[in-house]
Structure 1
Amino acid sequence: MRSTPGSARSSIRSHPLITDSAVAAVLTAASLALILLLGDGLIESWAGVPAVEPRAPGALGLVLAVLCTLPVALRRRYPLIALAFATLPEVALHAFDLNPGLGGVATLILLYSAAAHRGFAVSLIALSVTGLGYAVGALLGDEPLSWADHVIAVVVAMLCWIGGRSVRLRRAYLAELVDRTDRLERAREADTRAARAEERSRIARELHDVVAHHVSVMTVQAAAARKMLAVKPDVARDALSAIEEMGRTAMAEMRNIVGVLRTDGPAELGPQPGMQDVPTLVDQMREAGLRTELSVEGGAGGNLPALPPGVDLAAYRLIQEALTNSLRHAGPAARAWVTVRREGGELRVHVEDDGRGPAPEPELPTRTGHGLVGIKERVALYGGVLRIGPRDGGGFEVNARFPLKDR
C-alpha cells in the first residue's frame, strides 16, 4: 500500500538515516547490556547455573562491541561498507576471546540490507564478506564449534540473504507495475485526446456540409423570392415556404450532429442521411433552380444500392457538397448530373455540371474550399479514390470510387 504524501510513514521513509540510527542505538545498548550481564555472571546466577570464571569485558571489549553494532545506522545508505566495518571488530573480539554481544545480529541485519537495497553483484560480495568474517572468527576463537553450529550459522545467513533478495525483487516488480500503470494511463489519455480530436473533426465536417448546403439553397431561393415578390407573389410565397422547410431540416440535422456533445444525459439522435435520401436532395436542387438529373446503375430495380453505414453517409455528403458547389458557382442556367454506379467491389459516384452560367461572384472566386477538403478526408477514410477538377467541355466534376467489402 502506497503511503500518502505528508503522512508519518512517508516522513520516515524520506529520512531513513534517522530510523536506522535509532535501530543502531537500541541494538548497541542491548549488546552492551548483554555483555555486562554475562561478564558479571548475573544471568547465570538468575538461571541457577554456576558461572565458570566470569570475565569482565574491559574497555577494549566494550569499544569493539560498540563498533560492531553502530554501523547499522548506515545499513540503507552504505550497506556493504557498513558490513565490512562491522565484521572487522567482530573478528577482533573472537581473536581476543571476548564476548561480541549482539555483533552477529548486526552482521545479519547488514547482510539483509545489502541484499535488499543493492544489486545482485553487491549482495554476493556482502555474502562473501559475511562468510569470510565468520570463518576467520571461528578459526581464531578458543572454543571449537560443532558441525551443527556451522550449519545453523550458514542456514541463518542464507535465509537473511535470500529474504533480502526477495524483498528487492518484489520491490522492483511493484515499481515496474506502477510504471506500467502510469504508461498505460498516459497512453489512454493520449488515445482519448486523439479520439476527441477526431470526433471534433468529424463534427466539423458534418456541420460544414449541412450548413453550406442548406444555407446555399436558402440564399438562392431567398434571392428568387425577392425578385418575384412584386411580380408573382404566389411564386415568392412558395419560395419562402421552401426556405422555411429547408431551415427546419437544417436545424434538425445540426441537432442530431451536435447531440453527441451533450454531457447532461443521453443524446436524442436521429438517423444520419444516406444514399436513399439522394432523390430528395436532387429535388431540393431542382427547386432551388439547379436542373439536376439522377442516374442509378447497378442497383436492384433502379434503386440506390444498400451500402455500409460509413460509406453510405460519405457518398451522400459527397453528392451534397458537389451539388451545393454547382448551385453556388455554376450559374443559374447550369445543369448538373449525378451518376451512382455499383459494379464489382466498388461504388462509383460522379457529379458534374456544365458550368455555362455567368462567372462566380467576386467574393467567391474559386470552386474549391473547406467542403472539398472535407470530401477528400471522407473518401480517404474509407480507402477510396477521388478526382476533383474541370470537366471536359466546360464545367466542373467530382468523381469518387469507394471500395466495398464483401459482407
Structure 2
Amino acid sequence: MQPTTRRWLDAALILVLAAATALWSNAPLWFVHPDEKLLDVFGSVEAWRAHVIWWCLIGVPAAVAIPLRHRRPLTAMVLAAGSVAGHLLDPIMKAPPMDVAVLLTMYTLAGSAHARRTVVGVLIAAEALLFAGGLANGVGLLPGTGGRSPAAGYDRVARTATAILRGDALPIGLDVIRSVSVPALLLAATWAVADSARTRRAHLATLQARADDLEREHEQRTALAVAAERGRITRELHDVVAHGLSVMVVQAQGAKAMLTREPDRTGAALANIVVTGRASLAEMRRLLGLVRTGPGTDLTPQPSLAMLPSLVDGVRDSGTPIDFRMTGEPPTLPAVVELAAYRIVQEALTNALKHATPGAGCTVGLDFDPAGLTIRVADTGDPVPPPAPGNGLRGITERVHALGGELRAGPAPGGGFEVWARLPVAATQPRELVA
C-alpha cells in the first residue's frame, strides 16, 4: 500500500473511532445538566464533566498509536495498552471503541520484524494488565465501582482489602469473568492471526529467494553453456580456416612452380584452390549459422568419419603424399566422437602442410577396436623441435580430454611430427568406411 493512501486510511479510522467514543461516553450531554443518577455518582456537575474530559483524553494515546504502529509498532503498542489500562481503571464508564487500537497495534507488532519472544512478552504483559484491571474493577477495588459514590467506593476498597488479607473468597461473578475474558481472548486471537500471517510471509519470502537463486543459477549455466559453445565454434573456425588456407597456399606454390614447365597441371592446381576455398567458406557459413540462426540459415551436418576420405584427397591434390590406413571394423560412433576424430586428423594434416619439409609424406592411421578408436597422424619430414602449442592443438586437446581420451603431440622418433590420440567409445553396429 502506498504511504499516502495508508495515511488517509489511518486518519479516517481515527475520526470514526473518535466519533464512536464520543457517542459512547455521552459526551454530547456535557453541555446539558446531568440527571440525578449521575449526580449521585459524581457528586457535582463539574466533577462529572471533568471525569468525561479525563476519560476522553485517555483515548488520545490510542489514537496516536494508530499511525505510529507502521514505523514504531512496539512504542505504539505501549501507548495503546496504556490507554486501555486507563479506561479499565475507570469505575464508572466502560471501555470505548478507541480501545480497538490495541488490537491493531498488536496485529502490526506481531507481524513486524521484532523477535517473537519480544512480541510474546508484550502479549503476556497486556493480558496481565487486562486481567488485573478487569478483576480489580469487578471486585470493587476501585473507588466508585458498582454505581456507588467515590466515598462509598473507598469504603468497599477497604473491606475488600481486609477480605483478601484474611483469605476470604472474593465476590467474582460471571459478568466480571466475561468482561475480562472477552478482551483477553480477542487480543490473543489477534496475535495468533498476525503471527500466522508473519510465518506465511516468511515462508513465501524463502520460496521467492530460492526461486531467484534457481533463476540466477539457470542464467549462469546458460551463460557458461553459451561461452563453451562459442569456444567450440571458435576452435571449429580455426580448424576450418587453418586447414583450408594451408591447402590453398601449398597448391598455389605448386601452381606457381609448374606455371612454365607443366601448364596443364597448373590449371588443375588452381581448380583445387577454388574448390578448397569454396568448401572452407561453406564450412565457415555453417559454423556462423550456429550462432546466428534465422531464416535461410544453412544447417549442414557436422563433419564425420565418412568425410575423412574427401579430406585426405584434398590434401593429396595439393601435392602431399598421404598414406591412409584403417584397421579393425569401423563401428557406428556417437556424433561427438566422429567430429573429434575428424578435427584431430584435420589439425594434424594442417600442421604437416605448414611445418613439414617440402616433399615429405604423411601417414594417417585409424585403428578401431571394441574399446575405442586410436588415431595416428605423422609426417616423414626432418626432425623438428617441439612447437609452441597453438589454438589448433589446444582445441583438439580439449576435445580429447572432454571425451575422457588421451592425446600426445610432438616430434616423432624417426623424424617429423606425430599426433597420437585415443578416444574411448562404446561400439554399436559396424558400418563401411571407404578410404
Structure 1, unmatched stretches of 5+, are 1-8, 43-49
- Distance, in Å, in 2 between the alignment partners of 1:291 and 1:187 is 52
Which residue does the alignment assign to 2:110?
115
Q: Are positions 1:330 and 2:356 aligned together?
A: yes
Mapped to 2, the partners of 1:202 and 1:120 lie a distance apart of 55
The question of 1:339 aligning with 2:365 is answered yes
**Contact 2:69 2:105 (8 Å CA) reproduced:** yes
Superposition pairs of residues 20-35 of structure 1, within 5 angstroms: 22=11, 25-26=14-15, 29-35=18-24
Shift of 1:176: 2.4
Q: Distance in 2 between matches of 1:230 and 1:180?
A: 76
AA at the equivalent of 1:256? R
Q: Which letter does structure 2 place at the counterpart of 1:378? A: R
Distance (whole Å) between structure 2 residues aligned to residue 95 and residue 367 of structure 1? 95
Shift in Å at residue 393 of structure 1? 1.6
Answer yes or no: is 1:269 the counterpart of 2:263: no
Corresponding residue for residue 85 of structure 1: 79
More displaced stretch, 267-276 vs 184-193: 184-193
Question: Matches of 2:4 and 2:36 in 1, distance apart?
Answer: 44
1:225: how far off?
A: 0.8
Spell out the pairing of 1:359-398 with structure 2 (5 A cutoff).
366=387, 368-398=389-419
Corresponding position of 2:70:
76
Please give the alpha-carbon distance, in whole angstroms, between the structure 2 residues aligned to 1:379 and 1:399.
Answer: 11
Bigger Cα displacement from structure 2, 222-231 vs 140-149: 140-149
Measure the CA separation in 2 of the matches of 1:88 and 1:305: 89
Which secondary structure does the structure 2 equivalent of 1:337 belong to?
Answer: strand
Measure how far apart 1:313 and its partner are: 0.3
Answer yes or no: is 1:250 the counterpart of 2:246: no
Q: In the TM superposition, what whole-angstrom CA distance separates every residue of 1:349-384 from its partner, at most 9, and x where no partner exists?
A: 111112139x89xxxx94642111111111111111
Q: Which runs of 5+ in 2 are unaligned?
A: 40-47, 138-144, 147-172, 429-435
What is the TM-score of this pair, normalised by structure 1? 0.85
Q: Which moved more, 1:116-125 or 1:245-254?
A: 116-125
2:17, 2:36 → 1: CA distance? 25
Taking the TM superposition and a 5 Å limit, the aligned residue runs for 1:6-405 are 9-12=1-4, 18=7, 22=11, 25-26=14-15, 29-37=18-26, 40=29, 53=38, 56=49, 57-97=51-91, 98-117=93-112, 118-141=114-137, 142=145, 145-265=175-295, 267-299=297-329, 304-356=330-382, 366=387, 368-405=389-426
Q: Which residue of 1 aligns with 2:142?
A: none
Is the 1:94–1:140 contact (alpha carbons within 8 Å) kept by the matching residues of 2? Answer: no
- Aligned partners of 2:190 and 2:424: how far apart in 1? 68
Call closer, same or farther: CA 1:149–1:32 in 2, change over 3 Å.
Answer: closer
Q: Verify the 8 A CA contact 1:69 1:102 in the aligned structure 2.
A: no
Partner of 1:4: none
Shift of 1:325: 0.5
Whole-Å Cα distance in 2 between the matches of residues 377 and 264 of structure 1?
A: 29
Identity of aligned residues (%): 36
- Give the secondary structure class of the aligned counterpart of 1:350: strand
Alpha-carbon deviations, 1:258-298, whole Å to 9, x = none? 11122443733111111111122222222112211111111
* Alpha-carbon distance in 1 for matches of 2:20, 2:406: 86
CA distance in 2, matches of 1:23, 1:111: 20
Structure 2: which amino acid aligns with 1:94? L
Asked whether the 8 Å contact 1:24–1:69 carries over to 2, the reply is no
Shift of 1:228: 1.1
Partner Cα separation in structure 2 for residue 266 and residue 329 of structure 1: 39
The one-letter amino acid of 2:212's match is D
Q: 1:173 to 1:34 in 2, by over 3 A?
A: farther
Give the deviation of 1:179 after TM superposition: 2.4
2:22–2:56 contact (8 Å) kept in structure 1: no
Q: Look up the equivalent residue of 2:356 and give its one-letter code.
A: A
Larger Rg: 2
Deviation at 1:238, TM superposition (A): 0.5
CA distance in 1, matches of 2:405, 2:181: 78
2:184 & 2:177 partners in 1: Cα distance? 11
TM-score by length of structure 2 reads: 0.79
SS of structure 1 residue aligned to 2:96: coil
Distance in 2 of aligned mates of 1:107 and 1:386: 78
The CA distance in 2 between the partners of 1:369 and 1:378, in whole Å, is: 14
**How far, CA to CA, are the matches of 2:214 and 2:101 in structure 1?**
43
CA distance in 1: counterparts of 2:122 and 2:297, whole angstroms: 67
- State the shift of 1:253 in Å: 1.4
Paired amino acid for 1:107: V
